[in-house]
Amino acid sequence: MTEIDWILRRRSIRKFTEQKLTSDQIRLLLEAAMAAPTALNLKPWKFIIVEDENGLSELRKALPFGKIDAPCAIVVCGDLQSVKKPVTERFWVQDCSAASQNLLLAATSLGLGSVWCGVHPINQIEKSVRKALDIPQDVIPLNVIFIGYPAEEKLPRTQYSDKYVYSEKYGVPCEL
């Protein structure tokens, strides 16, 4: 298995067994997340681990497209409260998205399934997730990542297509 194979194997998994994650697994996922690049290396992130059934149920209620039964959710937030820098105000979404993708890939490599459910920039979902988890103003939930042992199988794949690739100048077809 090469590193690229792990990237192709990452698929959105929405059905999970009841088996819980260990704290070592969660720690590894978060170490992978916090290895991501961030603008000026400011790391404007906070991660909320939710395993309590009440919390998970509140999250499901808050997410119109995230009614997913998983033993664990990690909510990735942009922290504009403690990292008060203009660069963070502009780049926190990219910073936290890079961390999120690392987390999804790490989950795949541990044999876990995961799915990214979008929160920011949908105001109503942000508001509901903030309320469910006591997230302060100036800390913005970007997504909810549900994680667990997969109860469905999906094939690895790329979605490569020449139509997304140009050569040298915009609009010039490129065949590789």
Asked if 116 touches ligand FMN (CB under 6 A), the answer is yes
Q: Smallest gap, in angstroms, from Cβ of residue 146 to ligand FMN? A: 9
> Closer CB to ligand FMN, residue 9 or residue 85?
9
Return the range that interacts with ligand FMN (CB under 6 A); candidates 15-23, 74-82, 111-119, 127-135: 111-119
The region, left, alpha or beta by phi > 0 then psi within -120 to 50, assigned to residue 144 is beta
H/E segment holding residue 146: strand 139-148
Specify which residues 76 forms β-bridges with.
47, 143
Q: Does 91 bind ligand FMN (CB under 6 A)?
A: no
Tell me the closest approach of the beta carbon of residue 81 to ligand FMN, in angstroms: 23
Q: Collapse the DSSP code of 140 into the 3-class scheme (helix H, G, I; strand E, B; otherwise coil) and give the result.
A: strand
Query: Under the criterion CB under 6 A, does residue 60 sit at the interface with ligand FMN?
Result: no
Contacting residues for 160 by C-beta, under 8 A, at least 6 apart: none
